[in-house]
A and B are shown apart, each in its own frame.
Chain A
Amino acid sequence: MILYTPMAHSDIFPVEMDSYSNLESVSYKGRTVYAERMPDGSYQIQQLLSSDPNDFLNAEFSPGRILS
């Protein structure tokens, strides 16, 4: 499909609002992480928000990890 229009992409393909609701910012072990709520109620880390570069080396906060 090729679109040739001055309209914004978001005007043509409106964003589904339910994709907002799954992503939550939660506090885990003192760090704020963005986590997606899974259907079974657990959280999967999507993004770590920290200024400490070592937190990004810590496997506990790596994206994709399931929080129990």
Chain B
Amino acid sequence: MSNNSEQKEEQQQDNQPNSSALVERIQQLGQSNIPQAPDSNIHVLSIIGQVEGHLQLPPQNKTTKYEHLLPQLIAIEQNPKIEGLIILLNTVGGDVEAGLALSEMIASISKPTVSIVLGGGHSIGVPIAVATKHSFIVPTATMTIHPIRLTGLVIGVPQTFEYLDKMQDRVIQFVVEHSNIKEEKFKDLMFAKGNLTRDIGTNVIGKDAVAYGLIDEVGGVKEAMNKLNEFIGPKVSPESGVVQ
């Protein structure tokens, strides 16, 4: 046994720099080795936590900042090597205009886009989820649909009310235009009573979201990747075109 442990010690001393890097990596990530992969033609955008708008939220909030995502979306549109985009959503909602900006950007990208709602895609997560060409929801994920709210000081109540009403219409219009749900149905869900304890609205779970026509399909990573690859179409290898 002692012989064995001595050998081990020698080995450890031999690759000292290596093992310390390994220890560092384990401390950082809780894992020892990261597999390397070839360049990916599919890029991923994760919409996590709160969608942050014009105000910076306190640091304990997990936020998605649109000023980071908008340039990435432009880069994805411009880069010829990127052929598809997956949006991963697990968000509690957030700023309406920031969310609508992201939704419009995603909807107007020329490349194939697919979204997966994981965990939750609440409030402004709904337009972001339906903005892609095809949307998926995992069976356990939920989406809360409820009227738009405002916190803070309000100056000019009737004007603010009208402004909020129009903003809500914009959200409804976007969702109706980019999904198969009927406007009446979406409004019914939005103003339903008795579903949420402290609010009016509806909590729509996985399959129900598909049944209402809000989301295209129930599925996870596998289904989303298949769909995206289907949109991208068969690979054209650069060699096949040139005959010498």
A63, B68: Cβ atoms closer than 8 Å = no
Partner of B37, one of A15, A20, A25, A57: A57
Cα A55 to Cα B213 in complex, Å, equals: 35
A5 at the interface (CB under 8 A from B): no
Q: Does A42 contact B (CB under 8 A)?
A: no
The residues of A that contact B76 with a CB separation of less than 8 Å are 51
Whether the Cβ atoms of B40 and A53 lie closer than 8 Å is yes
Given contacts A53-B40, A53-B42, A54-B37, contact A64 B29 (CB under 8 A): yes
Specify which chain A residues have a CB less than 8 angstroms from the CB of B3 in the assembled complex: none
Q: Check A62–B25 contact: CB distance below 8 A.
A: yes
A65 to B45, CA, bound (A): 22
Roughly how many angstroms separate A19 CA and B24 CA in the complex, as a whole number? 25
The A-B contact count (CB < 8 A) is 49
A54→B39 contact, CB < 8 A: yes
B residues within 8 A CB of A26?
A: none
Q: Does the CB pair B58–A51 fall under 8 Å?
A: no
Contact across chains for B28 and A57 when beta carbons are under 8 A apart: no
Please report whether the interface of chain B is mostly helix, strand, loop or mixed according to DSSP.
Answer: mixed
**Interface contact A19-B37, CB-CB below 8 Å:** no
Which residues of the other chain, B, contact A19 by a CB distance below 8 angstroms?
A: 59
Contact of A64 among B28, B36, B42, B56 (CB under 8 A): B28
List, in ascending order, chain A residues with CB within 8 A of B35's CB: 57
* Chain A min CB distance to B1 (Å): 35
Asked whether B16 is an interface residue with its Cβ less than 8 Å from the other chain, the reply is no
CB-based nearest A residue for B56: A20
- Interchain CB contact under 8 A, B58 and A10: yes
Picked from A15, A53, A63, the residue with its CB within 8 Å of the CB of B58 is A15
Please name the residue on chain A nearest to B75 by beta carbon: A51
Q: Is the CB of A51 within 8 A of B36?
A: no
Whether A52 pairs with B28 at a CB distance below 8 angstroms is no
B34 adjacent to chain A (CB < 8 Å): yes
Chain A contacts of B25 at CB under 8 A? 59, 62
A27-68 vs B, CB cutoff 8 Å, 1 = contact: the mask equals 000001000000000000000011111100111001111000
| B residues in contact (CB < 8 Å) with A | 24-25, 27-29, 34-37, 39-40, 42-45, 56, 58-60, 68, 72, 75-76, 85
